[in-house]
C-alpha cells in the first residue's frame, strides 16, 4: 500500500488504537494480579452516564467536560463499590455488579430522556466507538509527517491518547517498586509505611483515566478487552513481573495492529465490500492471542506449592 | 490510696514504655461486634526472644497486626522504642503468615528479598550491585542462596517461609515480629529459622514470635506472653510458662494430662 | 396512565409483557441468589455478554436460508448456544490456567462481545436494514413488540420459574455448603451446571426485555437486597424473588405508560431503589443499624477498659475513655474516681477475676467460650454458680478504699 493512501486513512487510527491498547494494558497488569480485573469492566460501563451528565450540564459535545464527567463517574463508581462492599459487607463482585449496572441504567435513561438527536451521542457509539473515522485528511503521504501545516490538523484524539499513554507510563514507572510490593504482600507493605489504600485508589484512577481517554477514541468494549486480555496472555508467558508487563505491551500492540488490519482488509480478502468494526476485531484478536497462550504458553499453569507442605 | 497507686504506676509505666522495643497499652481489636483482643497490655523485653502463645482464635496474630497498623484497633496505644509507630517503621521487620500472599505471583526469590530493602532504596533509588549482594547474603543466612532466581511458586512451604525470613533480615531492623513462622514447615526449615533468630538475639536484636507449639516453647524462647482474648500472663519462661497459666489460657481446651506433661518437662 | 399500566389496563401485549417481566424478575431474583451465595455473581455478566455473537450468527443463518432473520425463538436459541460456549471457555480458563475467575470472566465477556460487534457490523453490510433491530438486544426494547414475542417471554419466564422450583432444594444445599452436599451424595458439579443453565435461561429470556448489558442487574441486585433482611437461606431466596418480581413488574408497567422510558433501565433503577432502602435501613445488616451499634460498642469497650484501669490504679491515656467516665459520673474533672466510679470499677475487676476462674475450669467450657471482655458474667452463669466462684476466690471484699 502506498503512503498516499496509508498515511491519511490508516496511520492515525492505527496509532490511536496502539496507544489506547497499551495505556489500558499497563495498569491492567496490576489490576489482574490484585484480582481486580473487573474494575476495568465496571469503569467502562459508568463512562456513559458520566458523559451524559457532562453533556446535560454543559449542553455541548466538547472533549474536556466530557472527559471530566467520565473520570468523575469512574471515581464515583469506585467509591460507591468500596462503600457498598464495606458498609453492606457484600463480596466485591456483587457490589461491583450493583453499582455499574445501576449507573449504566441511569445513563441510558438520561440519554433517552434528552434530545441528543442533534449531537453524536448514543449508546452504540459509547460501546464500540468509531476508530475508523479518526482519519488525517490533510496528509498526502509520508512527507506530511514533516509538514507543520498538515500536522496541525492531526485528529485531536491522537495527541490526547499519546498524552494519556505518557501519563499512564509515568505513573507505572514512578510507582513500580511500591506497586509491586503492595500487590504481592499488602500487609508487609503497610509495615514499611506504604499507604496501600491510597496507592490502590491511585491505580484505579489511573486505569480510569486510561479508560476514559481510550473510550473517547475507540469505545468501551476495546477498553475492557485491553485491560484484561493482553495482561492475562502475558501471565502465561512469564514468571516475573518485568517480563509479564513487557509481553503484555507486545500483545496489546500486536492485537491493535492485527485487529485493525483484519477489520479493514479482511472482508475485502473474503470478497465482501465493507470493513467491519475495528474495535470489535481488536478485542477478538486479543482473545485469540489469549486462547493460544492459554493452550501453549510456557507458564500457563499455577505454580503455587500446596499450602501446608 | 488510689491516687497514690496511680501516680507510682504512672511513673513506672512511662519508664517501661520508653525502654521497651514494643509496648502495647489497652489494645482492643474487634472484627464486627466480638473483640478478638480485649484491653491487652504487652511490654516486650529488649534483646530477648518472646513467644506469643494461646489457643486458635485467641487473637495472637490479630494483636501483632494491630500493633503494626495492618488492621485497625478499636482502642489502644502502641509505642516502638519509646516513640509512636510511624516514626519507627525502619526499625521493625515483619514476617507475615505464609498463607497471606499469592505464591503464584510473578516474581523470583531474589526480588522478594530485595523488597526488604525498600526503605533504603525509596521510590526510585537505583538498585546497585551492593544491594544484590546484601540480598544474596540474607538468602545464604537462611540457606536459600541456591534458589535466588527461582519463581517463588516453585518452592516448598518451608522454603517460602525462609525467603520471608530473608526479606526481614534484609530490612536490617532492631525488632523482628514473626507470625507463625513454624506453621507447616519441615524440620530442616524449623532448625534453620531458629538458628537465624538466635543469631539475631546474639546481635542484640529483639524477636517476637507468634507460636503454636507448646512443646518447643521452653527450648526456643526466653519469655512468653500468654493470651486468650485477654492477656493471661507475661514474663520469663521459667516463671510465666506455668501449668496454672496454661490452664488459664487454654481452659478446657488443653487436656489435663497435657498440662501435667508440660509442667513435668518444665521441671 | 401509570395506574392503568400497573393495573394491566394497557392492552393485551403490554399486559403479557408485564406478566412475562414479572415472572422473569422472580426467576432472576431466585437464580441470582444461588449465584450470589456461591460468590459467582459476575459470572452472569460474562454469560450475558457472550449471547451477542449467538444472536448475530442465528440472524445471519436464518436470513441467508431465506427465513425471517428476526424470529425471536431462533435468535434466543442462538444466544443460548453462544452463552454456553462462553461459559465453557470461562470454566476451562479457570480450571486449566493460572487465571483467577475474575480475569476469566473479563476476558470471555470482552472477547465474545467484541466478536459480536464485528458480526453486527457484518449484518449491517448485508443490506438487510439497519442491523435488523438487533441493537434492541443490547438494551432491551418491549415497545411495539409482536404478540408472538410477548408470548415467548411470558412462557419462557413461567417455564424457568417452574424449573427453579423443581431443583431449588439441592441448589440451596450446594450453594451453602458444597462439601457437605457432596458428602451427602449430591452430584455437586451437575447441580452447579443446572444452576448455570438456569442463569442462561434467565439471561436468554430477559434479552429482549432488559437487554444483555442490564440482565446481570436483575440477577445480582435482588439477591444482594434480600441478604440484608434475613440470615436464613430460604427467606433470602423468597425475598430475592419478591424484590426481583416487584421491580420487574413496576418497571415494565412504568415503561409501557410513557414514551422514552426504556424497560431495562427502569427495571434496574427500581431494583436499585429497593437495594438502597435495604442498605440503609435494614434492621440488622443495614448501615444505620451498624453505625449505631458500632458507636455503642466502642463506648462499651472504652468504658470497661476505663473501669478496669481505675480498679487497678493504672493511668488512663485515651481521651474518649476519660470523657465517657466523666459523663457517667465515675471520675471527677481532674481524673480522680468518684464513689460510683470506685464501686463500678471494683465490680468490673471482680467480674474479671470471676471470668478468669470460669475460663480455666473445664466444667465451664461452654460459658468460657462466650468471653469477649464485654459480656456480663451474670448473663452466662446463674447466681448460684457465681456464688460458688466467689467462694473459690474468697468472699466479697472491698478492693478499693
Q: What is the ipTM of this complex?
A: 0.90
Task: Spell out the long-range contacts of A196-205 with Cβ–Cβ below 8 A and sequence spacing 24 or more.
Answer: A199/A175, A200/A34, A201/A78, A202/A171, A202/A175, A203/A27, A203/A30, A203/A31, A203/A34, A203/A179, A204/A31, A204/A36, A204/A39, A204/A43, A204/A74, A204/A78, A205/A71, A205/A74, A205/A75, A205/A78
Assess A40–C contact: CB distance below 8 Å, yes or no: yes
b/e burial code for range A167-195 (CB count within 10 A of at least 16 → b): ebeebbeebbbbbbbbbbbbbbbbbbbbe
Task: Specify the pLDDT at position C142.
Answer: 66
Q: Which of A224, A275, A301 sits opposite C110 (nearest CB)?
A: A224
Tell if the CB–CB gap between B104 and A183 is shorter than 8 Å: no
C interface test, pick of A25, A45, A105, A276 with most C CB neighbours within 10 Å: A105
The one-digit pLDDT tens for each residue of chain C (401 residues) are 566 666 666 677 778 778 888 888 998 999 999 888 888 889 999 999 999 999 999 998 888 887 777 788 888 899 999 999 999 999 999 999 999 999 999 999 999 999 998 998 888 877 655 555 777 787 777 666 677 777 887 888 888 888 888 888 888 888 878 888 888 888 888 888 888 888 988 888 888 888 888 889 999 999 999 999 988 877 888 999 999 999 999 888 888 777 777 888 889 999 999 999 999 998 888 889 888 988 888 888 888 888 888 888 777 777 888 888 888 888 887 778 888 888 888 888 888 888 877 777 767 777 777 777 777 787 778 888 888 888 777 655 444 43
Phi, psi values for residue B86, rounded to 5°: -55, -35
Q: C111: which 3 cell numbers? A: 472477547
How many residue contacts between A and B have a Cβ separation below 8 Å?
103
Residue B71 belongs to a domain? no
Q: pLDDT of B99-130, one tens digit each? A: 888 898 999 999 999 999 998 888 888 888 99
Q: Does residue B17 lie within any of the structural domains?
A: no
Contact at CB, C111 and A287, closer than 8 angstroms? yes
Contact A309 B89 (CB under 8 A): no
Q: How many domains does chain B have?
A: 1
A192 near B CB under 8 A: yes
Contacts of C213 in chain A (CB under 8 A): 45, 101, 104
Interval B54-80 mean pLDDT: 89
Nearest CA in chain A to B95: A188
Give the pLDDT of residue B3: 46
Q: Give the one of B68, B99, B106 whose C-beta lies nearest to A240's C-beta.
A: B106
Chain-chain contact of C301 with B28 (C-beta, under 8 angstroms): yes
Chains B and C form CB pairs within 8 A to the count of 85
Calculate how close chain A gets to C321, using CA atoms only, in Å: 26
Residue B75, in any domain of the structure: no
Q: B69 and A304 in contact by Cβ < 8 A? A: no
Q: Is residue B64 part of a domain?
A: no
Q: A304 touching B, CB under 8 A?
A: yes
C78 with C55: CB under 8 angstroms?
yes
C-beta atoms of B39 and C308 within 8 A: yes
Cβ <8 Å between A300 and C266: no
Q: How confident is the model at residue B4 (pLDDT cuts 50, 70, 90)?
A: very low
Provide the terminal-to-terminal Cα distance of chain C, rounded to the nearest Å. Answer: 79
Q: List the grid coordinates of C122.
A: 457484518
Q: Which residues, including other chains, have CB under 8 Å from residue A288's CB and lie 6 or more apart?
A: none
Is C298 an interface residue toward B (CB < 8 Å)? yes
Topology of the domain comprising A3-224: ABC transporter involved in vitamin B12 uptake, BtuC (1.10.3470)
List per-residue pLDDT tens for chain A, 309 residues long: 566 777 777 888 899 999 999 999 999 999 999 988 888 888 888 888 888 888 888 877 677 788 888 888 988 998 899 889 888 888 888 999 999 999 999 988 888 887 665 555 666 666 777 777 788 877 777 777 777 887 877 888 888 899 999 999 999 999 999 999 999 999 999 999 899 989 998 998 899 889 888 887 777 878 889 999 999 999 999 988 999 999 999 999 999 999 999 988 887 777 777 778 888 999 999 999 999 999 998 888 876 433 333
Residue B146 lies in a domain: yes
**Distance (Å) from the C-alpha of residue C361 to the closest C-alpha of chain B?**
6
Asked if C393 has any chain B CB less than 8 Å from its own CB, the reply is no
| Cβ separation C262–A274 shorter than 8 A | no
CATH label of the domain that carries residue B157:
3.40.50.300
H helical segments located in C50-146: 51-64, 72-96, 101-125, 136-139
- The residue segments making up the domain with residue B53 are 47-58+91-266
In a domain, B138, yes or no: yes
| 3-state secondary structure string across C199-216 | HHHHHHHHHHHHCCCCHH
Contacts of B153 in chain A (CB under 8 A): 239, 302-305
B5 confidence band (pLDDT: 50, 70, 90): very low
Q: At what angle do helices A12-33 and A176-184 cross, to 10 degrees?
A: 40
Touching partners of B (3+ C-beta pairs < 8 Å): A, C
- Give pLDDT, residue C334: 78
A267 vs A272: CA distance, rounded Å:
5
Give the nearest partner residue to A123 out of C44, C96, C139, using CB atoms: C139
Note whether residue B208 is domain-resident.
yes
Q: Does A309 touch chain B (CB under 8 A)?
A: yes
Measured between CA atoms, the residue of chain B closest to residue A193 is B89
Tell me, what's the pLDDT at A119? Answer: 57
Give the nearest chain C residue to B26 (CA atoms): C305
Q: Interface partners of C (3+ CB pairs, < 8 Å)?
A: A, B
Domain assignment of residue B19, yes or no: no
Using a CB–CB cutoff of 8 Å, tell me whether C159 touches chain B.
Answer: no
pLDDT at B109: 94
Domains of chain C: 2-264 (1.10.3470.10), 288-393 (no CATH)
8 Å CB contact between A98 and C220: yes
- A121 vs B: CB within 8 A: no
Beta bridge partners of B24: B42, B78
Amino acid at each position: 500500500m502506498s503512503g498516499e493512501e496509508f498515511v491519511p486513512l490508516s496511520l492515525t487510527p492505527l496509532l490511536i488504537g496502539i496507544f489506547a491498547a497499551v495505556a489500558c494494558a499497563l495498569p491492567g497488569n496490576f489490576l489482574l494480579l490484585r484480582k481486580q480485573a473487573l474494575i476495568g469492566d465496571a469503569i467502562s460501563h459508568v463512562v456513559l452516564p458520566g458523559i451524559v451528565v457532562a453533556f446535560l450540564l454543559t449542553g455541548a459535545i466538547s472533549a474536556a467536560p466530557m472527559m471530566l464527567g467520565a473520570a468523575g463517574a469512574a471515581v464515583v463508581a469506585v467509591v460507591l463499590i468500596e462503600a457498598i462492599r464495606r458498609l453492606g459487607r457484600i463480596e466485591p463482585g456483587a457490589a461491583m455488579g450493583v453499582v455499574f449496572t445501576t449507573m449504566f441504567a441511569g445513563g441510558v435513561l438520561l440519554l433517552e430522556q434528552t434530545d441528543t438527536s442533534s449531537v453524536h451521542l448514543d449508546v452504540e457509539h459509547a460501546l464500540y466507538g468509531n476508530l475508523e473515522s479518526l482519519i488525517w485528511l490533510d496528509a498526502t503521504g509520508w512527507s506530511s509527517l514533516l509538514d507543520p501545516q498538515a500536522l496541525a490538523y492531526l485528529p485531536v484524539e491522537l495527541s490526547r491518547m499519546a498524552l494519556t499513554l505518557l501519563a499512564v507510563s509515568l505513573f507505572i514507572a514512578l510507582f513500580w517498586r511500591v506497586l509491586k510490593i503492595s500487590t504481592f504482600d499488602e500487609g508487609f507493605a503497610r509495615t514499611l509505611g506504604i499507604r496501600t489504600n491510597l496507592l490502590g485508589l491511585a491505580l484505579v484512577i489511573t486505569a480510569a483515566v486510561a479508560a476514559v481517554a481510550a473510550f473517547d477514541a475507540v469505545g468501551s468494549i476495546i477498553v475492557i478487552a485491553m485491560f484484561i486480555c493482553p495482561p492475562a496472555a502475558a501471565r502465561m508467558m512469564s514468571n516475573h513481573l518485568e517480563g509479564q508487563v513487557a509481553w503484555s505491551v507486545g500483545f496489546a500492540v500486536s492485537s491493535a495492529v492485527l485487529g485493525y488490519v483484519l477489520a479493514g482488509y479482511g472482508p475485502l480478502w473474503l470478497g465482501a465490500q465493507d470493513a467491519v468494526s475495528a474495535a470489535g476485531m481488536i478485542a477478538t484478536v486479543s482473545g485469540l492471542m489469549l486462547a493460544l497462550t492459554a493452550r501453549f504458553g510456557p507458564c500457563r499453569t499455577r505454580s503455587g506449592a500446596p499450602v501446608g507442605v | 490510696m488510689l491516687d497514690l497507686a496511680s501516680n507510682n504506676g504512672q511513673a513506672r509505666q512511662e519508664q517501661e514504655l520508653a525502654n521497651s522495643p514494643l509496648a502495647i497499652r489497652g489494645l482492643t481489636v474487634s472484627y464486627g461486634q466480638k473483640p478478638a483482643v480485649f484491653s491487652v497490655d504487652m511490654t516486650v523485653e529488649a534483646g530477648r526472644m518472646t513467644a506469643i502463645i494461646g489457643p486458635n482464635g485467641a487473637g495472637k496474630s490479630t494483636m501483632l497486626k494491630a500493633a503494626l497498623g495492618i488492621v485497625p484497633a478499636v482502642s489502644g496505644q502502641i509505642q516502638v522504642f519509646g516513640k509512636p509507630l510511624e516514626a519507627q517503621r525502619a526499625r521493625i521487620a515483619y514476617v507475615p503468615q505464609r498463607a497471606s500472599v499469592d505464591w503464584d505471583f510473578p516474581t523470583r526469590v531474589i526480588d522478594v528479598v530485595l523488597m526488604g530493602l525498600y526503605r533504603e532504596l525509596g521510590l526510585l533509588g537505583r538498585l546497585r550491585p551492593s544491594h544484590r549482594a546484601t540480598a544474596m547474603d540474607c538468602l545464604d543466612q537462611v540457606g536459600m542462596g541456591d534458589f535466588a532466581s527461582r519463581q517463588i511458586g516453585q518452592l516448598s512451604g518451608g522454603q517460602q517461609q525462609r525467603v520471608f525470613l530473608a526479606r526481614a533480615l534484609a530490612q536490617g531492623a532492631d525488632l523482628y515480629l514473626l507470625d507463625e513462622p513454624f506453621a507447616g514447615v519441615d524440620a530442616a526449615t524449623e532448625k534453620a529459622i531458629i538458628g537465624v533468630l538466635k543469631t539475631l538475639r546474639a546481635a542484640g536484636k529483639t524477636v517476637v514470635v507468634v507460636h503454636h507449639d507448646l512443646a518447643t516453647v521452653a527450648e526456643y524462647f526466653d519469655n512468653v506472653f500468654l493470651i486468650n482474648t485477654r492477656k493471661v500472663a507475661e514474663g520469663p519462661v521459667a516463671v510465666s510458662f506455668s501449668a496454672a497459666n496454661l490452664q488459664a489460657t487454654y481452659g478446657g481446651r488443653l487436656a489435663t494430662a497435657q498440662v501435667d506433661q508440660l509442667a513435668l518437662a518444665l521441671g | 396512565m401509570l395506574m392503568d399500566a400497573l393495573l394491566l389496563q394497557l392492552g393485551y401485549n403490554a399486559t403479557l409483557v408485564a406478566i412475562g417481566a414479572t415472572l422473569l424478575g422472580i426467576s432472576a431474583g431466585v437464580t441470582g441468589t444461588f449465584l450470589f451465595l456461591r460468590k459467582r455473581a459476575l459470572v452472569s455478566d460474562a454469560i450475558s455478554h457472550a449471547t451477542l455473537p449467538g444472536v448475530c450468527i442465528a440472524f445471519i443463518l436464518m436470513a441467508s436460508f431465506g427465513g425471517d432473520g428476526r424470529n425471536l425463538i431462533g435468535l434466543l436459541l442462538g444466544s443460548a448456544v453462544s452463552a454456553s460456549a462462553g461459559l465453557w471457555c470461562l470454566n476451562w480458563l479457570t480450571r486449566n490456567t493460572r487465571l483467577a475467575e475474575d480475569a476469566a470472566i473479563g476476558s470471555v465477556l470482552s472477547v465474545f462481545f467484541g466478536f459480536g460487534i464485528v458480526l453486527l457490523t457484518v449484518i449491517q453490510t448485508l443490506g438487510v436494514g439497519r442491523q435488523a433491530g438487533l441493537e434492541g438486544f443490547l438494551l432491551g426494547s418491549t415497545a411495539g413488540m409482536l404478540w408472538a414475542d410477548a408470548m415467548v417471554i411470558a412462557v419462557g419466564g413461567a417455564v424457568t420459574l417452574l424449573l427453579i422450583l423443581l431443583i431449588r432444594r439441592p441448589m440451596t444445599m450446594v450453594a451453602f455448603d458444597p462439601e457437605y452436599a457432596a458428602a451427602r451424595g449430591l452430584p455437586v458439579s451437575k447441580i452447579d451446571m443446572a444452576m448455570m443453565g438456569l442463569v442462561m435461561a434467565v439471561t436468554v429470556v430477559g434479552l429482549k426485555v432488559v437487554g444483555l448489558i442490564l440482565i446481570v442487574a436483575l440477577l445480582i441486585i435482588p439477591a444482594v437486597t434480600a441478604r440484608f433482611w434475613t440470615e436464613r437461606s430460604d427467606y433470602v431466596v423468597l425475598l430475592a424473588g419478591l424484590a426481583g418480581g416487584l421491580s420487574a413488574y413496576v418497571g415494565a408497567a412504568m415503561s409501557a405508560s410513557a414514551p422514552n422510558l426504556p424497560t431495562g433501565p427502569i427495571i434496574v433503577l427500581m431494583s436499585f431503589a429497593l437495594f438502597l432502602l435495604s442498605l440503609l435501613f435494614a434492621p440488622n445488616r443495614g448501615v444505620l443499624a451498624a453505625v449505631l451499634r458500632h458507636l455503642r460498642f466502642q463506648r462499651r469497650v472504652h468504658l470497661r477498659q476505663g473501669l478496669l484501669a481505675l480498679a487497678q490504679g493504672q493511668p488512663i491515656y485515651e481521651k474518649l475513655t476519660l470523657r465517657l467516665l466523666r459523663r457517667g459520673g465515675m471520675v471527677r474533672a481532674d481524673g480522680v474516681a468518684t464513689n460510683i466510679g470506685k464501686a463500678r470499677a471494683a465490680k468490673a475487676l471482680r467480674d474479671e477475676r470471676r471470668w478468669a476462674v470460669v475460663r480455666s475450669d473445664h466444667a465451664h467450657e461452654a460459658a468460657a467460650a462466650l468471653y469477649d471482655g464485654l459480656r456480663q458474667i451474670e448473663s452466662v452463669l446463674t447466681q448460684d454458680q457465681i456464688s460458688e466462684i466467689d467462694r473459690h476466690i474468697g468472699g466479697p471484699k472491698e478492693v478499693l478504699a
